[in-house]
Amino acid sequence: MITAIFPAAGKGRRMGTPFNKVFASLSDKPVLLHTLLSFSRCAFIDDFVVVVAPQEVTMVSKLLNTIPEIKPCKVVAGGIERQYSVYNGLMAVSKDSDMVLIHDAARPLISVKVINAVIDEVKQSEAAVAAVPVTNTIKVIDENNLVVRTPDRSNLWMMQTPQGFKKELLLRAYEQARQDNFLGTDDASLIEHIGHPVKIVMGDYKNIKITSPGDLVYAEAMLGKKAVDRVKADLSITVTNAVELMKTKILGKRL
């Protein structure tokens, strides 16, 4: 059994809105719903745990219970840091789950292809994360903003989500982090903290995290392109079927 946890308790300060950014409107629905619906299309995911601010639990629960397309979902309260929110979500995961995927609720453009790739790698390596190669030159600077060095970007990858782990491994990493008072930058860093290797899986450059109004504009454009592509695909199938039907009729007459 595989459970997906969605940390969604952020304040969205960079978005410049007085409310949680996952409730920002994207196309025809909130960002959060786009993300959950994308994951609901993955046949291997069994259920969800959504982690929101304490005052949002009731509202989000009522909202998600009205949408039949979304997989079975628990909604729990988060903490003051993302890591604490994920831990709360982890505590709500079913005892029957043996794999956990953690995905930023503010990444609505995730594809089933990437989700499946992470799941497949977790089965082999126990810990896998989606990421993409860095395309820009990176500079390391000192406290005076002077360049210290230029690392080889061929070895640099930008982390994304989902990040997937065997549940028992992730629980062990979170418990060790609590004991050591270790605050990681992502879930993979907690796995690294206990000395377990993490495997990189090719992500998708479109799988951005919505943090600013500009990101919403980009996501709108991508969703529009997806809609256009779906229409083109449907038209292509329709045309192909029509051509095949015509061939059948013509050949039938000849026979």
pLDDT tens readout for residues 188-225: 999 999 999 999 999 999 999 998 888 888 898 988 86
Residue 242: its pLDDT value, please? 52
Averaged pLDDT of the chain: 88
- 2-6, 97-101, 118-122, 249-253: segment of lowest average pLDDT: 249-253
Calculate the alpha carbon distances from 72 to 61, 90, 132 in Å.
11, 16, 30
Bigger pLDDT: 84 vs 213:
84
Largest CA distance in the chain: 85
Residue 19: its pLDDT value, please? 64
CA distance 156 to 120: 23
Partnered with residue 165 across adjacent β-strands are: 100, 127
The helix (run of H) or strand (run of E) holding residue 217 is helix 213-254
Contacts 24+ apart (CB under 8 A), 191-196: 191/127, 191/165, 196/126, 196/127, 196/169
Q: What whole-number percentage of the chain has pLDDT above 70?
A: 84
Phi first, then psi, for residue 96 (nearest 5°) are: -80, -15
- Residue 240's pLDDT band, with cuts at 50, 70 and 90, is low
pLDDT above 90 for 247 = no
pLDDT above 80 for 65 = yes
pLDDT above 70 for 162 = yes
Tell me what the mean pLDDT of segment 166-176 comes to: 97
CA distance 110 to 114: 7
CB 55 within 8 A of CB 11: no
Bigger pLDDT: 222 vs 248:
222
pLDDT digit string, tens, across residues 102-126: 999 999 999 999 999 999 999 999 9
CA distance 207 to 50: 19
- 7-11, 15-19, 36-40, 134-138: segment of lowest average pLDDT: 15-19
Tokens of 197: 């290797």
pLDDT above 60 for 1 = yes
Residue 21: its pLDDT value, please? 83
Residue 139: its pLDDT value, please? 93
Which range, 153-157, 190-194, 248-252, is most confident? 190-194
Buried b (16+ CB within 10 A) or exposed e, 212-239: eeebbeebeebbeeeeeeeeeeeeeeee
- Residue 254's pLDDT band, with cuts at 50, 70 and 90, is very low
- The CA-CA-CA angle for residues 123, 164, 12, to 5°, reads 170
pLDDT above 80 for 48 = yes
CA distance 58 to 64: 10
Query: Would you tell me which CATH number, out of the four given (3.90.550.10, 1.10.3720.10, 2.40.110.10, 3.40.50.460), belongs to the domain 2-209?
Result: 3.90.550.10
